[in-house]
């Protein structure tokens, strides 16, 4: 006997939302008609017109209940006008049958709970009063009859109202519990998501710290140890050219020269070890092609790399910045833009090297993103700071639904080759040229 408000009715599916007692009381008219009709048939098994006048309305009552309640499960307790008409016809048939056969008082009694599970709101109490009136066959208006009628109506109405209130409260608590469970599930999912974001943020911070320290150490090695050794090697080469081949100082100069060359090679290995791993195996174009190839295989999208101009070696920090910019742009194309086609162009020009990454993703509003708390996201913010350290530029062109184009330029600063310019030819010129090549690459 559910007294559900509209919010609860919308939240709970009608067939699944009815309690077991509701379904029991909705089936009570069928049981009452069947039981009373069987008793009538037991008393008068022989067919007769009078029997048909009894069983016909009984079958009509069952059919009426099926059509108005069973066939339309959303009408009970919701559609006031159809349910009022339904109950009036059902009670009228039950009263008619009760007048013909007293055993059909079972159907009249079934109208009490039926009023609470079909009639909405206060109409249920009107249905109880009408059912009580239908049980009276002799209206003598005596005080005893009126007291019995009123007492029965009040008692059944009070019991039905109490059951309605209890079931309404149970339904309200069930809906609240389901909403609370869903809220807990959402909070748990948000907690997992936030934990993932925190882990990602910590990992990015750690990686950024490691990268910054590695870059600083590589720069310090280049600016101090490598440059100093290159200068020493240059002076030793110059001094060697002025010492006779059989002079006593020639051997000491050769030993010092080889020692300086070995230490310069060691410094070179240290600087190479501090560069991003994709750059270890080859040049910047090769590293970017490898990164794009892995991204293409992982995302299943179309991606291509185009290299224009003559590739040259840049300072390790500049190559690293361009490589990280390409990785971040590809990550954004997959994670945010959901791009299916990406074009990466690496252009070597006289004074700058440019990296352009264009995708056909969903795009965004760069001005709105830049105004956000993270300045467009942690990745873009880190990219801007990394490029700014080398006097480079970063520009982003995008619009919702029109893809994104990321353009990065850095000065074409090549490794210092001053130690190679001071090479002098002598009887061991071939060895000197080989050492010079190593020095130029490391510096």
pLDDT value of position 273: 61
Residue 329 lies in a domain: yes
User: Which residue in the block uniquely carries the two structure tokens 């873009």?
Assistant: 380
Q: Pull the structure tokens for residue 227.
A: 């440059």
Predicted TM-score (pTM) of the model is 0.39
Residue 177 lies in a domain: no
CA distance 107 to 89: 13
Q: Could you please report the per-residue DSSP string of 110-159?
A: HHHHHHHHHS-TTHHHHHHHHHHHHT-S-----HHHHHHHHHHHHHHHHH
pLDDT value of position 139: 54
Residue 82 lies in a domain: yes
Single out the residue in 137, 162, 185 at which a domain terminates.
Answer: 137
CA-closest candidate to residue 134, choices 175, 165, 104:
104
Single out the residue in 108, 137, 166 at which a domain terminates.
Answer: 137
Residue 223 lies in a domain: no
CA distance 285 to 289: 6
Burial of 255 (0-12, 13-18, 19+ CB in 10 A): exposed
Structural domain of residue 49, as residue ranges? 6-137
- Beta bridge pairs of residue 355: 346, 408
Single out the residue in 121, 137, 153 at which a domain terminates.
Answer: 137
Q: How, if at all, do strands 341-348 and 352-359 pair?
A: antiparallel
Burial of 130 (0-12, 13-18, 19+ CB in 10 A): middle
Alpha-carbon Rg for the chain, nearest whole angstrom, is 46
pLDDT value of position 161: 73
Residue 442 lies in a domain: no
pLDDT value of position 435: 39
Residue 156 lies in a domain: no
pLDDT value of position 319: 86
pLDDT value of position 157: 76
Tally of domains within the chain: 2
In contact, 18 and 2? CB cutoff 8 Å = yes
CATH number of the domain within which 408 lies: 3.30.565.10
The one-digit pLDDT tens for each residue of the chain (443 residues) are 444 444 344 333 444 456 677 788 889 899 999 999 999 988 887 778 888 888 999 999 999 999 999 898 888 888 889 999 999 999 999 999 998 888 998 999 899 888 888 888 888 888 888 888 888 765 555 676 667 667 777 877 777 777 777 777 877 888 899 999 999 999 999 999 999 888 888 887 887 787 778 777 777 777 777 778 888 888 888 888 888 878 788 888 888 888 888 887 777 767 666 655 566 567 889 989 988 998 888 888 889 999 999 998 888 778 888 888 888 888 888 777 677 889 999 999 988 999 999 988 888 877 765 555 444 455 677 778 878 887 889 998 988 888 889 999 999 877 653 333 333 333 333 343 333 433 333 33
pLDDT value of position 441: 37
pLDDT value of position 35: 93
């Amino acid at each position: 006997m559910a007294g559900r408000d509209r919010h609860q009715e919308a939240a709970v599916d009608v067939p699944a939302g009815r309690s077991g007692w509701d379904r029991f009381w909705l089936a009570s008219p069928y049981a009452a008609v069947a039981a009373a009709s069987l008793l009538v048939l037991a008393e008068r098994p022989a067919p007769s017109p009078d029997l048909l006048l009894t069983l016909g309305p009984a079958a009509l009552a069952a059919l009426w209940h099926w059509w108005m309640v069973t066939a339309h499960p959303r009408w009970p307790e919701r559609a006031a006008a159809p349910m009022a008409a339904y109950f009036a016809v059902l009670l009228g048939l039950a009263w008619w049958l009760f007048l013909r056969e007293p055993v059909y008082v079972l159907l009249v009694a079934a109208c009490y709970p039926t009023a609470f599970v079909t009639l909405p709101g206060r109409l249920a109490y009107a249905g109880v009063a009408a059912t009580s009136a239908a049980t009276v066959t002799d209206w003598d208006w005596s005080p005893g009859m009126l007291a019995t009628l009123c007492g029965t109506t009040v008692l059944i109405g009070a019991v039905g109202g109490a059951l309605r209130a209890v079931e309404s409260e149970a339904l309200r608590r069930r809906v609240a519990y389901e909403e609370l469970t869903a809220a807990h599930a959402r909070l748990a999912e948000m907690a997992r998501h936030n934990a993932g974001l925190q882990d990602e943020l910590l990992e990015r911070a750690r990686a950024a710290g490691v990268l910054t320290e590695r870059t600083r150490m590589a720069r310090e090695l280049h600016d101090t140890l490598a440059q100093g050794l290159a200068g020493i090697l240059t002076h030793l080469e110059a001094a060697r050219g002025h010492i006779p081949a059989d002079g006593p100082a020639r051997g000491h100069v050769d030993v010092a020269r080889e020692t300086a060359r070995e230490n310069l090679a060691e410094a070179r290995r240290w600087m190479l070890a501090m560069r991003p791993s994709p750059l270890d195996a080859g040049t910047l174009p090769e590293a970017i092609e490898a990164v794009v190839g892995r991204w293409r295989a992982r995302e299943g999208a179309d991606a291509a790399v185009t290299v224009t101009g003559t590739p040259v070696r840049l300072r390790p920090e500049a190559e690293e910045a361009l490589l990280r910019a390409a990785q971040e742009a590809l990550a954004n194309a997959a994670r945010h833009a959901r791009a299916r086609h990406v074009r990466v162009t690496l252009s070597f020009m006289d004074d700058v090297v440019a990296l352009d990454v264009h995708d056909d993703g969903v795009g965004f509003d760069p001005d709105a993103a830049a105004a956000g708390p993270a300045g467009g996201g942690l990745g873009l913010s880190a990219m801007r700071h990394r490029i700014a350290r080398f006097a480079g530029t970063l520009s982003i062109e995008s619009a919702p639904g029109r893809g994104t184009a990321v353009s990065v330029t850095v000065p074409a600063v090549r490794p210092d080759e001053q130690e190679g310019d001071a090479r002098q030819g002598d009887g061991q010129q071939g060895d000197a040229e080989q050492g010079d090549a190593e020095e130029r690459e490391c510096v």
